[in-house]
Amino acid sequence: MRVAMIGAGYVGLVSGACFADFGHDVCCVDKDPAKIEALNRGEIPIFEPGLAELVAKNVREGRLTFTTHLPEAVKSAEAVFIAVGTPSRRGDGHADLSYVYQAARDIAAAMDGYTVVVTKSTVPVGTGDEVERIIRETRPDADFAVVSNPEFLREGAAIADFKRPDRIVIGTEDQRGLSVMNDLYRPLYLNQSPLLAMSRRTAELTKYAANAFLATKITFINEIADLCEQVGANVQDVARGIGLDNRIGSKFLHAGPGYGGSCFPKDTLALIKTAQDYEAPIRIVETVAAVNSQRKRAMGRKVIAACGGSVRGKTIAVLGLTFKPNTDDMRDAPSIDVITALQDAGARVRAYDPEGMDAAMAIITDVHYARDAYDCARDADALVLVTEWDTFRALDLVRLKAAMASPVVVDLRNVYRPDEMRRHGYTYVSVGRT
């Protein structure tokens, strides 16, 4: 099948490359000429394991192309995916749908013959109705269906998630549209990924419900961790003790500095706003969002406490900047709040991240960016582990201690064992473990 993917960001590029790998003919469109030029030179604008190889293979085999010229991609496509950003709107937290609506207008002007327009971007309930209205208004003669197909991939494991999803959600009332989506995803449900057909509005809400539930689970264990610290209990044992219960499940029960990233913060906010607008407020998610945003800065205070109550004039080393390992995505990363809190309290910050430093430099200034973990720790009065990259999991504790001015480690991901750290002579603070 011929597919146009509008937006060649994380989701568009990964989905486009995977659809091409299934054998479809995919053209990825982006309005950012620098991104398209880079892709056409064979450079991948983001760090995502396996993506460079997958893109190169499908370009070489002629199934994947890139352009800034939307009409040429849309004209011949049977399915046109909208995979543009839906960031928080400044001021009120609603999803900013201006990119989606612009894409809808551009697609409407260019489409030719029966076309299935698929929203893959995460969009509030009712957006599909508005996309349909825009297309009909722009092109009263057009033959089309608007389908919701939310994406559940995780950055860092995006290709595996796309190729072996837990489920595929298709929201449409249009039988022809559903059958095109079935054909597109056929290679996947042959692999036994269930394809769930539902109404368009239900599909739109399903995506937000999934993200809000996961954000709630993380926030729940984070608050249990705080209680563990007060009562002398161990949050990792609690998490295992509840997670092995199949009704609960062990995923997303790792206590840490609070969730960040390109999805959970903005999607919880957007769901809260939608629910308020429909006078069905989801108070549990309102609380989750409030607790989480306070938590990130509270992690800065945790470091200050570990340094004896003041970091003024002290050097703090920060390991890991991206919102999670195996991505270079810095959007809403907890490291930003932690570093800002430390700088506000008068600390000098040294930082290192295996892949995220270019993106970090554009956001976090006044930081010394180090060459590696040991260079980062040099002369530091304390070290904070914020993102649990594999390379930080087996640091040489003797070498690290020798580099530091004072052996204080604040491990916000519970990577190390308290007894081992103590044996090496560290003052060691972690999350929900005493």
Ligand X SMILES: NC(=O)c1ccc[n+]([C@@H]2O[C@H](COP(=O)([O-])OP(=O)(O)OC[C@H]3O[C@@H](n4cnc5c(N)ncnc54)[C@H](O)[C@@H]3O)[C@@H](O)[C@H]2O)c1
268 near ligand X, rule: CB under 6 A = no
CB within 8 A of 217, min separation 6: which ones?
Answer: 251, 252, 253
What single string gives the DSSP state of each residue in 55-108? HHHHHHTTSEEEES-HHHHHHT-SEEEE----PBPTTT--B--HHHHHHHHHHH
Does 260 belong to an annotated binding site? yes
In this structure, are residues 148 and 129 in contact, taking their beta carbons and an 8 Å threshold? no
204 near ligand X, rule: CB under 6 A = no
Nearer to ligand X by C-beta: 31 or 57? Answer: 31
Does 153 belong to an annotated binding site? yes
Nearer to ligand X by C-beta: 32 or 183? Answer: 32
What single string gives the DSSP state of each residue in 313-367? T-EEEEE--SSSTT----TT-HHHHHHHHHHHTT-EEEEE-SS-HHHHHTT--SE
Among the residue ranges 3-11, 169-177, 311-319, 366-374, the one whose residues contact ligand X (CB under 6 A): 3-11
**Contact set for ligand X, span 82-101 (CB under 6 A):** 83-86, 99
257 near ligand X, rule: CB under 6 A = no
49 token code pair: 């394991």
Nearer to ligand X by C-beta: 207 or 401? Answer: 207
Does 261 belong to an annotated binding site? no
The one-letter amino acid code at 256 reads G
Does 321 belong to an annotated binding site? no
Task: Report, in Å, the least distance between residue 148 CB and ligand X.
Answer: 12
Task: Report, in Å, the least distance between residue 45 CB and ligand X.
Answer: 8
158 token code pair: 């995006």
Task: Report, in Å, the least distance between residue 315 CB and ligand X.
Answer: 34
**Look-up: residue for tokens 């997303």?**
252
Three-state DSSP at 247 gives coil
Q: Of 3, 5, 11, 404, which lies in the binding site for ligand X, with binding defined by CB under 6 A? A: 11
Does 144 belong to an annotated binding site? no
Known active-site residue 263: yes
Q: Across the strands, what pairs with 387?
A: none
Of 267, 293, 310, whose CA–CA distance to 408 is shortest?
310
Q: Of 21, 30, 48, 355, which lies in the binding site for ligand X, with binding defined by CB under 6 A? A: 30
32 near ligand X, rule: CB under 6 A = yes
9 near ligand X, rule: CB under 6 A = yes
Nearer to ligand X by C-beta: 32 or 277? Answer: 32
Q: Of 67, 76, 88, 102, which lies in the binding site for ligand X, with binding defined by CB under 6 A? A: 102
**Look-up: residue for tokens 């954000």?**
215
Task: Report, in Å, the least distance between residue 220 CB and ligand X.
Answer: 22
Distance (Å, rounded) from C-alpha 3 to C-alpha 173? 21
CB within 8 A of 193, min separation 6: which ones?
Answer: 164, 165, 166, 167, 168, 185
Does 31 belong to an annotated binding site? no
Position closest to ligand X via CB = 9
Nearer to ligand X by C-beta: 324 or 350? Answer: 324
Nearer to ligand X by C-beta: 18 or 103? Answer: 103
216 near ligand X, rule: CB under 6 A = no
215 near ligand X, rule: CB under 6 A = no
Q: In what order do the strands lie in the sheet with 408-411?
A: 367-369, 348-352, 315-319, 382-385, 408-411, 427-429
Does 154 belong to an annotated binding site? yes
Q: Which of 18, 228, 263, 376 is catalytic?
A: 263
In this structure, are residues 198 and 16 in contact, taking their beta carbons and an 8 Å threshold? no
Distance (Å, rounded) from C-alpha 265 to C-alpha 137? 33
**Contact set for ligand X, span 34-93 (CB under 6 A):** 35, 83-86
Binding mask 303-342 for ligand X (x = CB under 6 A): ----------------------------------------
Binding mask 112-151 for ligand X (x = CB under 6 A): ---------xx----------------------------x
Distance (Å, rounded) from C-alpha 382 to C-alpha 397? 14
Task: Report, in Å, the least distance between residue 54 CB and ligand X.
Answer: 16
Does 422 belong to an annotated binding site? no
Q: For 393, how many CA atoms within 13 A lie in the half-sphere containing its CB?
A: 5
Task: Report, in Å, the least distance between residue 139 CB and ligand X.
Answer: 17
Three-state DSSP at 282 gives coil
CB within 8 A of 263, min separation 6: which ones?
Answer: 122, 211
Among the residue ranges 5-13, 176-184, 316-324, 417-425, the one whose residues contact ligand X (CB under 6 A): 5-13
At residue 332, what are phi and psi to the nearest 5 degrees? 55, 30
**Contact residues for ligand X (CB under 6 A)?**
6-12, 29-32, 35, 83-86, 99, 102-103, 106, 121-122, 151, 153, 155, 262-263
Binding-site residues for NAD(+), please?
Answer: 30, 35, 86, 122, 155, 266, 331
The residues assigned a catalytic role are 263
